[in-house]
Amino acid sequence: MAHVTEAELLQHVPNELYINGQWVPAADGNTLTVHDPATGKVIKTIADAGVADGLAALDAAVEAQDAWAATPPRVRGEVLRRSFELLQERKHEFALLMTLEMGKPLAEAYGEVAYGGEFLRWFSEEAVRITGRYGTNPEGTGRMIVSQHPVGPSFLITPWNFPLAMATRKIAPALAAGCTVVIKPAELTPLTTLYLVKLFEEVGLPAGVVNVLTTSTSAAVSGPIIADPRLRKLSFTGSTGVGQKLIAQSAQNVLRTSMELGGNAPFLVFEDADMDRAVEGALAAKFRNVGQACTAANRFIVHRDVAEEFARRVTEAVSDFTVGRGTETGVKIGPLINADAVTKADTLVQDALGRGATLLTGGRALERAGTFYEPTVISGVKPGSAILREEIFGPVLSIVPFDDEDDAVRIANDTEYGLVSYVFTQDLARGQRMIERLQTGMMGLNMGVVSNAAAPFGGVKQSGLGREGGTEGIHEYLSTKYTLTPDP
């Protein structure tokens, strides 16, 4: 369906919950609506799960767990591999669907299909590499066997900003490890997950291995699932505030958790940076996904000697960005997800300007249908401005000058977050010092985008616990068992 229309595509997307291999309406018949943020119009009405549906989904995952864990790793891997291949065949549909429900420009939606698909391929390959070790204990009095086992039924909660990649980044390692799952996508963008699960169904995934709940009452539906002792793992991607609540709930059953939370990424430009690279990296790190990424550069910390040149060059580029619906050709900046996001971006900009920052371009919401904010650059942001502390989650590039390396490191680390940092310098030793001194889970050294399915994604401090992707990612869904045996 390379030339599928929007209406045809939306018709192909399921509108029900997927529980134990069946598409079913919510038990109480409730529905919720999904909107196109570029127009504000309803694009689909789908099932709105309640508590009973949540527990039915968990029942199905528990029921399917033993058989899935006993399924040979090669077979589990092959299901993921077939999913990867079918996703490539449907890339046009997945890209368009993400643009419709989330708003990102179509070219970026294709990028997400490629990135999100890589988790299916990577973990299809990792499924067969789950190994342990065998050895003599130091005293020479026994043999130690260390083995890896699926942790068990897992609950996956995803955000709205990367509807496909956040789902595959969790589902793929869970399935590869031998865990069954219940996934709950964000209420704002549930359609991509429903369409993905339909794809899993088509490649022959057994009933109960993946179950999907779409709901407008996330806290109410999630609470009983998390409290159920049969659940063995919670993997969450979203805001730090919600993550903290979920960690507290998980304490009850000492539930294994992975938490991919918020960020406040510093983007450091040293006086010796290659300015072409720094500007290109800045535009990617800031405006990808219209700034709605946990990895979005939030604070551009630029050496005073080059701050003016950097500001001028990014402003020139940003002033040329085309704003519009993500389906239109040439659009670089789509809508923000909703009206609250526009208000938040504007409040942060006005606060910074009120404290003495300079507006170089943009700085206001657009008066048109949908929820758009002008791509914006502000410079000379003063300490104490809210924009330096909070995730902007919008197309706003804010520049803070620094005087020396210590100053840059101090400003960069002055946040409770620690997800990703970007550093632009041509001095290798300085780059190495930044690896050691910045409090961060990931770093782009002369690169504005770091995400890769083969690499461990995750943060330190209040940006989270655990890693997704890479060889580390599958271990989030495995538990280690040690057995001692006598000498043979």
Cα 415 from Cα 394, distance rounded (Å): 19
Cα–chain center distance at 180: 20
By CB under 6 A, tell whether 391 contacts ligand NAD: yes
List CB contacts of 125: < 8 A, sequence separation 6 or more.
77
251 Cβ partners below 8 Å, 6+ apart? none
Find tokens 């995730």 and name the residue: 391
With respect to ligand NAD, which residue has the nearer C-beta, 117 or 418? 418
Nearest residue to 193 (alpha-carbon basis) of 54, 294, 87, 288: 87
Binding region for ligand NAD (CB under 6 A) out of 237-245, 278-286, 310-318, 362-370: 237-245
Phi, psi for 290 (deg, rounded to 5) = 55, 35
Token representation of residue 326: 């993500």
CA distance 258 to 59: 22
Instruction: Examine residue 312 and tell whether it contacts ligand NAD (CB under 6 A).
Output: no
Nearer to ligand NAD, 105 or 401 (CB): 105
Q: How far is Cα 410 from Cα 398, in angstroms, rounded to an integer?
A: 17
The DSSP call for residue 158 is: -
Nearer to ligand NAD, 168 or 218 (CB): 218
3-state SS, one letter per residue, for 386-401: HHHCCCCCCCEEEEEE
Contact between 10 and ligand NAD per CB under 6 A: no
Q: Please tell me the number of Cα atoms within 13 Å of 165 on its side-chain side.
A: 23
Among 123, 160, 321, 402, binds ligand NAD (CB under 6 A): 160
Asked if 219 is part of the footprint of ligand NAD (rule: CB under 6 A), the reply reads yes
Sign of CA dihedral 336, 87, 193, 81: negative
Token output for 62: 């528990």
Q: Is 369 in the site for ligand NAD (CB under 6 A)?
A: no
The answer to whether 260 is a known catalytic residue is yes
Contact 17, 26 (CB under 8 A): yes
Contact window for ligand NAD (CB under 6 A) among 121-129, 182-190, 318-326, 399-407 = 182-190
Taking CB under 6 A as the rule, does residue 222 contact ligand NAD? yes
Q: Is 159 in the site for ligand NAD (CB under 6 A)?
A: yes
In whole angstroms, the minimum distance from the beta carbon of 259 to ligand NAD comes to 8
CA pair distance 91, 198, nearest whole angstrom = 14
Stretches 107-115, 236-244, 401-409, 421-429: which one binds ligand NAD (CB under 6 A)?
Answer: 236-244
Structure tokens at 99: 């643009």
Stretch that binds ligand NAD, among 21-29, 59-67, 111-119, 160-168 (CB under 6 A): 160-168
Q: How far is the CB of 232 from ligand NAD (least distance, A)?
A: 17
b (16+ CB within 10 A) / e for 357-387: beebbbbeebeeebbbbbbbbbbbbeeebeb
**Residue 458 CB, nearest approach to ligand NAD (Å):** 7
Residues 461-480: x where in contact with ligand NAD by CB under 6 A, - otherwise, as a string: ---x----------------
Among 158, 376, 385, 398, binds ligand NAD (CB under 6 A): 158
For ligand NAD, the closer CB: 50 or 77: 50
Does 20 help bind ligand NAD (rule: CB under 6 A)?
no
Q: Is 226 helix (H, G, I), strand (E, B) or coil?
A: helix
Q: Choose among 456, 452, 454, 460: nearest CA to 472.
A: 456
Instruction: Decide if residue 161 touches ligand NAD (CB under 6 A).
Output: yes
Quick one: CA torsion of 408, 412, 415, 421, rounded to 10 degrees? 180
- Near ligand NAD by CB under 6 A, which window of 218-226, 319-327, 358-366, 427-435? 218-226
Residue ranges in 417-436 that form contacts with ligand NAD under rule CB under 6 A = 419
> Is 118 an interacting residue with respect to ligand NAD (CB under 6 A)?
no
Please, what is the minimum distance in Å from the beta carbon of residue 77 to ligand NAD? 24
Q: Is 39 in the site for ligand NAD (CB under 6 A)?
A: no
Contacts (CB under 6 A) with ligand NAD, residues 255-284? 260-263
Count of CB atoms within 10 A of residue 482's CB?
10
DSSP state of 349: H
CB closest to ligand NAD, residue no = 238
State the catalytic residue, choosing from 126, 260, 391, 476. 260
Q: Which part of the chain contacts ligand NAD (CB under 6 A), choosing from 39-47, 89-97, 154-162, 355-363?
A: 154-162
Q: What amino acid positions are annotated as catalytic residues?
A: 260
Binding site for ligand NAD (CB under 6 A): 157-162, 184, 186-187, 218-219, 222, 237-239, 242, 245, 260-263, 294, 391, 419, 459, 464
